Structure 1
Amino acid sequence: MTDWSPGTALLALDWLIRLAALWWIPSRSAPAAARSWLLLVGFVPLLGLPLYLLFGHPWLSRERVLRQARASQAIRAGQLPQKALRWRPPATGPAAETAPLVERLGAFMPVRGNAVELLDDYDGSLAALLADIDAARERVHLLYYLMFDDAVGAAVADALVRAAGRGVRCRLLLDAVGAKRGYRAFARRLRAAGVEVHPMLPGGLRWRRSGRMDLRNHRKIAVIDDHVGHIGSQNLADARFVPGHPNRELVARVRGPAVSHLEAVFASDWYLETGQQLEVSPQRPVHDEDVAVQLLPSGPAYPFANARDTVNALIHLAQHRLVLVTPYFVPDDATLSALRIAALSGVEVQLILSASNNQRLTAWAQHSYYEELLQAGVRIALYRPRFLHAKHLSVDDAVALVGSINLDIRSFALNAEAGLLCYDRGVVARMRAIEADYLADAEQVQLAAWRRRAPWRRSLEGLARLADSFM
């Protein structure tokens, strides 16, 4: 009988884990993610294996996936009374291919008859939301990734208490991690006032009934009565909730038939969390501005990566000018290739990022992409006055997309996100003015100067890039 020493047994276990990882991981992960995880397991098997089991695959419970499928089916059926409001894209241009793609991915058809107001001022956007809540007569539905226990969180809580006191039906969905502080501070008081409050994707002992521990609901949506909806990047927190990084955001305030689509996303998430089905009326007043919009929901409960596929399609469909704004830029191979191809094809591609960043590892990984993009002709501008947390893009003069979607692997694969596509020259022109304002206070990165950065920075950026699948 072989007498194994502890050292020999540990060595055997290390190699057993490595061989099992080679067989298991590539069949359950995308190639880029598999490479990163195999590298980690190869170096530190006893640490890499438990980390992969916890975070290696963006799985959701079977029940959540089934509930999302039922919700998408209900969303398609619920739009039948709006058939006369369906917007038909022109035969040519980006919208001709984007609109049917988005409808197949996320279930929402493009609808006309909307008004879209782009709110670029942080305090002004918050004031508009509070005013809309104070004007509510029937219901207020809020779905937010982050709510802080600060003056802004308190102001929103106060507005909900006032609305509930008037007999308005108020419901609040908050991400269990991002909004932990606000949930702890305000949930008891809100419930006592009659507001229904639920955490999304709770962790702890319940996490196996929801999904992978770091999956998050990153959406920011408000729906007030049949009248108005808000969607964008702004959370329920003071602009300076991260010290040293005051935020700049962009929110779309929507009126018209698309408000029912925003409500359907809220109802879908409410159903995923509670099992309770809410009634969503498709009847909303048609607005004279007649803007055509389409809602894009995305997340791990869907069979495809809706946000990634839509963003990549828009990049490939751009013919003249493409502007992308994001605070976190850690693209997958498909997005990186799409940007490079667009620039090399003669499209003017402008990437606007924040010069400051509250995520150090993400910032290092982000820097690793600059050289190859600059070499292909992509322009990269770094906005300096604030932390540019806005997330939007514009394609030619035809399409604008605004919402919660970052250009990173987390938004594409792990987070529940939402974006609003606007097929309207007027909205695109207003977004172009906002982009121009960013560029006026931004510094364009120059390829020659970027190549002169210190070698230790290059090494650090490369190491951070290897961790892109863990972000």
Structure 2
Amino acid sequence: MALRYSSWWALLLVLALSACGSLPTGVQRPVSHSVRASPDESPLARIAADGLPPDAQSGFRLLPLGSYALDARLALIGGATRTLDVQYYIMENDASGRAVFRALEEAAGRGVRVRLLIDDFNSTGAEPLIEALSRVPNLEIRLFNPFCCARTSLAGRVLTSLGDLPRLDHRMHNKLLIADGALAIVGGRNIADDYFTRSPIANFVDLDAVVAGRVVPQLGVIFDRYWNSEESFPAGLFSSQAVEPASRAATLERLLPADATRIPIELPDRDILGQEPVGKELHERRLTLVPGLAYAVADQPSKRLEDQEELENSSLMTGAVFQMLGARSELVVASPYLVPGKRGIAVLRSLQRKGVEVTLVTNSLPASDSAIVYFGYARYRPAILKSGVDLYELSAIAPRESKTIFGGSSKGRLHAKLAVIDREVVLLGSLNLDPRSARKNTEVGVAVESPALAEQALRIVEAMKSEAYRVRQAPAGGGELAWAPPDAADDDETLDAEPGVSPLNTLQRLLLQPLVPEDYL
């Protein structure tokens, strides 16, 4: 599983140790731009146009199932005839990652222009693949904010870097795939087995969407902004040695066999929303879409380097908070990493004064993949409840229905980033409600005005709540908090001890919570 970049201790090491490397200077970055194929040029563009209802500006297809999400990505890549623009925080060298890497290589082989942009922090495991693929014709790879040296291990990368905290701490958290400038996938999933319900141990409960219509060119402009930025470096600059073409082809075939895309994907006939797999629909030259009025938003690639005032005015988090503050009656939010801070609590209290019903869904400690971030959340839990919020924590224990709802029976971890405002507006993307998303990482998302899409999103949240503990203030005379299990028969059936939290966990929280600066959560 990839590392969530929140370790204060690693950052202290960077500051404490002298560095011996630097990034290349005078880098040539040929400028290129997204292309929007016409329906006459691209079957995907034709399907997208036919799938939009009359007068609809944009169309959306939510992907709550991990297996459907992988199927959709491979279908879009396989159906592209002109261009593929792909941008991810994590692309693992596992079965799912190799399937996507191989599909991109095959697309380049049939003449599709492929631009692949990967954040460099988690690329260590895929380094040999990236190096081999960076020399494939029609396939250009760039690394966002790369480490300069000792690239075979994360420790080596950190210890030989400049010790420049602002640069190292600035990560591209975006997740985006655009095919032929006609269809896109945007949301919370990275490219790895545990995002597509393929891990036997633990899988992320996540959400993204296939997107069509006018919002897709907006996403293309966002991709171009990152691709052509000074933070993105051609991957070939970091190749360890020159390789002859024959040897390069043999290496690529060894690392990425021809059958890599033919991994078995368990696809139920329909998902929780009654939808068929995207790949099946595209094969039949159709795509079911929910219409909506939408716009795409993203942080600037240089976000962490901007001054604080500019950051406060322009960040994706600021825009999302303003939209949430505009709620009139109801706000429903799912966020795996939830550290509201004093400003977030002020927002919740403002909504409480307006009479807005607020529901928050996040991870329990056993379900979280970042205990430190969870400890940061836990310190605000009493204040969240005092703000009148209905608070739910996803249980890590897979219940009997999880295979139907989310496509797996292993341990579940919330990773979806979603907000539904007044049952009319849906916010979906890569943004977590924590300081790192607010101030350090770059993020991307879409805001959609569509009651029909909002209704679908709320059905997904209800499925999450059915697998979550409801957290409450304990009755007078009891402990501070109480937890109602997912299968509780009535409101009085509660636990006064935090489920799945051991005395050791409690000790870790007491020791680490005061030491970790909130900005790094």
TM score, norm. by length of structure 2: 0.64
Name which of 398, 401, 411 aligns with 2:437.
Answer: 411
Moved more, 414-423 or 336-345: 336-345
SS in 2 for 1:415: coil
Name which of 202, 213, 216 aligns with 1:256.
Answer: 213
Moved more, 421-430 or 293-302: 293-302
Distance 1:461 1:442 in 2: 25
| Residues 122-201 of structure 1 mapped to structure 2, 5 A cutoff | 122-189=66-133, 191-201=135-145
Counterpart residue identity of residue 374, structure 1: L
Distance 1:370 1:128 in 2: 37
The answer to whether the Cα contact below 8 Å between 1:164 and 1:193 also exists between their aligned partners in 2 is yes
Q: CA deviation at 1:463?
A: 5.2
Moved more, 264-273 or 133-142: 264-273
SS in 2 for 1:295: strand
Q: CA deviation at 1:423?
A: 1.1
| Offset from partner CA, 1:72-123 (integer Å, 9 cap, x none) | xx99xx9xxxxxxxxxxxxxxxxxxxxxxxxxxxxxxxx9611111111111
Distance 2:388 2:379 in 1: 16
Partner of 2:181: 226
The answer to whether the Cα contact below 8 Å between 1:344 and 1:377 also exists between their aligned partners in 2 is no
Moved more, 130-139 or 173-182: 173-182
Partner of 1:120: 64
What is the RMSD of the two structures over their aligned residues, measured on CA atoms? 3.6
Q: Check 1:307–1:179 CA distance in 2 against 1; reply closer, same or farther (3 A cut).
A: same
Partner of 1:373: 384
Partner of 1:23: none
Counterpart residue identity of residue 319, structure 1: R
Counterpart residue identity of residue 163, structure 1: A
Q: CA deviation at 1:190?
A: 5.0
Counterpart residue identity of residue 386, structure 2: Q
Counterpart residue identity of residue 358, structure 1: D
Q: CA deviation at 1:324?
A: 1.0
Counterpart residue identity of residue 292, structure 2: V
Does residue 247 (structure 1) correspond to residue 256 (structure 2)? The answer is: no
Distance 1:307 1:253 in 2: 21
Q: Check 1:149–1:372 CA distance in 2 against 1; reply closer, same or farther (3 A cut).
A: same
Counterpart residue identity of residue 468, structure 1: E
Does residue 216 (structure 1) correspond to residue 171 (structure 2)? The answer is: yes
Does residue 327 (structure 1) correspond to residue 336 (structure 2)? The answer is: yes
SS in 2 for 1:246: strand
| Residues 65-80 of structure 1 mapped to structure 2, 5 A cutoff | none
Name which of 304, 329, 345 aligns with 2:311.
Answer: 304
Moved more, 361-370 or 400-409: 361-370
Q: CA deviation at 1:48?
A: 10
Counterpart residue identity of residue 119, structure 1: L
Q: CA deviation at 1:446?
A: 1.9
Q: CA deviation at 1:194?
A: 3.6
Does residue 435 (structure 1) correspond to residue 436 (structure 2)? The answer is: no
The answer to whether the Cα contact below 8 Å between 1:143 and 1:220 also exists between their aligned partners in 2 is yes
Partner of 1:460: 509
Q: CA deviation at 1:252?
A: 1.4
Q: CA deviation at 1:459?
A: 9.1
Q: CA deviation at 1:422?
A: 0.4
Distance 1:198 1:113 in 2: 32
Q: Check 1:151–1:288 CA distance in 2 against 1; reply closer, same or farther (3 A cut).
A: closer
SS in 2 for 1:363: helix
Distance 1:183 1:210 in 2: 23
Distance 1:434 1:118 in 2: 10
Q: CA deviation at 1:291?
A: 1.5
Distance 1:243 1:363 in 2: 24
Give the number of the structure whose residues are more often helix, by fraction: 1
The answer to whether the Cα contact below 8 Å between 1:119 and 1:253 also exists between their aligned partners in 2 is yes
The answer to whether the Cα contact below 8 Å between 2:291 and 2:450 also exists between their aligned partners in 1 is no
Q: Check 1:196–1:343 CA distance in 2 against 1; reply closer, same or farther (3 A cut).
A: same
Distance 2:110 2:508 in 1: 59
SS in 1 for 2:86: strand
Distance 1:178 1:191 in 2: 21
Q: Which runs of 5+ in 2 are unaligned?
A: 1-7, 20-25, 36-54, 150-160, 235-287, 399-411, 482-495
Partner of 2:413: 387
Distance 2:363 2:205 in 1: 10
The answer to whether the Cα contact below 8 Å between 2:317 and 2:431 also exists between their aligned partners in 1 is no
The answer to whether the Cα contact below 8 Å between 2:336 and 2:416 also exists between their aligned partners in 1 is yes
| Offset from partner CA, 1:355-375 (integer Å, 9 cap, x none) | 211111111111111111112
Moved more, 318-327 or 306-315: 306-315
Name which of 473, 478, 493 aligns with 1:447.
Answer: 473
Partner of 2:273: none
Counterpart residue identity of residue 152, structure 1: S
SS in 1 for 2:416: coil
The answer to whether the Cα contact below 8 Å between 2:18 and 2:163 also exists between their aligned partners in 1 is no
Partner of 1:351: 360
Partner of 2:490: none
Partner of 1:292: 293
Q: Which runs of 5+ in 1 are unaligned?
A: 1-36, 41-46, 55-62, 79-110, 277-286
| Offset from partner CA, 1:407-445 (integer Å, 9 cap, x none) | 000001000100110011111111111111111111101
Does residue 266 (structure 1) correspond to residue 223 (structure 2)? The answer is: yes
Distance 1:288 1:457 in 2: 46
Distance 1:190 1:312 in 2: 39
Does residue 469 (structure 1) correspond to residue 519 (structure 2)? The answer is: yes
Q: CA deviation at 1:457?
A: 3.8
| Offset from partner CA, 1:1-46 (integer Å, 9 cap, x none) | xxxxxxxxxxxxxxxxxxxxxxxxxxxxxxxxxxxx9xx9xxxxxx
SS in 1 for 2:91: coil
